[in-house]
Amino acid sequence: MAEIMAQSDTVDRILDAAEELFAERGFSETSLRMITSKASVNLAAVNYHFGSKNALIQSVFARFLTPFSSTLEQAFDALESDCDGQPPTLEQTLRALTESAVRMPQRNEHGISIFMRLLGLAYTQSQGHLRKFLEQEYSQPFGRFMRLLKEATPQLSAVDRYWRIQFMLGATAFTMSSSDALRDILQNKLGVETTVQEIAGRLVPFLAAGMQARDTVVMPAAVKPSVA
């Protein structure tokens, strides 16, 4: 039993160190030796428990996403049950998503902001193995989320829905990854304290309005060649 607990502690220390360094430096800029130094373990321990840097990156995401996915599925079950066969509204769907995230037990007070920084990096840095891993392991809950979004926005074309989802993800990643700084600014500027839960609550109607906004895209007119 003591040996199992010691191994579990080692794994947690490695994951904690990797999570923090990846969020600060990015995936490519963080070496395994940086992680082992911060976690106070040797390289053999990382190789033994994870096998590779890619597997370690995937494990960092899985530590958050596995319990989150379970919570999210339960939230969607309850939501669809309450709607008596009618499609949930867009705001209800988004609220189920954000509330599931902020309800998750956090290992530290910065858990949500760190994970959202990592999620942003997964989009901006070349991590094909991570995208493949996420699609394979979490296709069920997030496929269900995309279905609910589609049902709630039948007026949108596939292209419009694609872009609005990207804008929605960008706004969410920025807001939640910057939540600590935003809370400090609000406190210093207006003397108002807030919580991560309140920030998420304020974000939902903004995202819903953006997803359902009237399309006002104006295509640029063709540029006429100038006459010398």
Average of per-residue pLDDT across 68-85: 90
Domains 1-51 and 63-211 share a fold: no
Q: For residues 115 and 19, give the distance between their C-alpha atoms in angstroms, rounded to a whole number.
A: 8
Average of per-residue pLDDT across 126-153: 90
Local confidence band at 57 (pLDDT 50, 70, 90 cut-offs): very high
Question: For the whole prediction, is pTM greater than 0.95?
Answer: no
The domain made up of 63-211 is a member of CATH 1.10.357.10 = yes
Local confidence band at 2 (pLDDT 50, 70, 90 cut-offs): very low
> What is the CATH architecture of 1-51?
Orthogonal Bundle (1.10)
Quick check: 41 pLDDT over 60? yes
Structural domain boundaries in the chain? 1-51, 63-211
Quick check: 85 pLDDT over 90? no
pLDDT at 25: 93
pLDDT at 125: 74
